[in-house]
């Protein structure tokens, strides 16, 4: 077997959360920084906490709004056919 294939294992890896919570675990890196932990994650706390560091939700809402607006302006073939039939029915009734 080859020697030195596996990375070094740190049994005292310190994990630090953005909320200030810190705990020790085992890992192949000596220190880990995380945004959410079990002390501040909404699933564990039961509190609704909105975490959006990269503005992802706002960007999605903007894109969805643009697509909805474009879809409302642009009509599909089926809609045009239905409107044409409705006009023909109105003309024949009048």
User: Residues annotated as binding site for Zn(2+)?
Assistant: 17, 19, 37, 40
| DSSP 8-state code for residue 7 | P
Query: Residues with Cβ < 8 Å from 14, sequence gap 6 or more?
Result: 22, 23, 24, 30, 31, 32
H-type alpha helices, 4-76: 42-45, 56-73
N-to-C CA span, the chain:
92
Output the known binding site.
17, 19, 37, 40
């Amino acid at each position: 077997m080859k020697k030195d294939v596996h990375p070094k294992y740190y049994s005292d890896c310190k994990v630090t959360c953005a909320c200030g919570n810190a705990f020790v675990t085992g890992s192949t890196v000596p220190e880990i920084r995380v945004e959410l932990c079990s002390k501040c994650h909404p699933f564990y706390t039961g509190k609704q906490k909105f975490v959006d560091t990269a503005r992802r939700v706002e960007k999605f809402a903007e894109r969805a709004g643009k697509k909805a607006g474009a879809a409302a302006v642009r009509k599909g073939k089926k809609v045009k056919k239905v409107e044409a039939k409705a006009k023909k029915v109105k003309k024949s009734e009048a």
